[in-house]
Amino acid sequence: MRRGNIWFILDNNHETDGVTHWKSLDLKFDSQIYTLQALNDSAISIEEVYRIADGWPVKVNPVGLWNRETGLIWTESNIWERRRNLEGHSFLCATEDVSV
pLDDT tens-digit map of 3-23: 678 899 888 765 555 566 777
Domain that holds residue 65: 7-82
Average pLDDT rounded to a whole number, residues 39-50: 92
Asked, for residue 55, whether it belongs to a domain, the answer is yes
Number of domain units in the chain: 1
Average pLDDT rounded to a whole number, residues 44-71: 93
User: What letter does residue 69 receive in the DSSP assignment?
Assistant: T
Asked, for residue 36, whether it belongs to a domain, the answer is yes
Cα distance between residue 42 and residue 70, in whole Å: 11
Average pLDDT rounded to a whole number, residues 91-95: 87
pTM of model > 0.85: no
Going from the C-alpha of 3 to that of each of 22, 30, 38, 67, 95, the distances in angstroms are 23, 10, 28, 28, 23
Are 9 and 34 within 8 A, CB to CB? yes
For residue 62, the number of C-alpha atoms closer than 13 Å in the C-beta half-sphere is 7
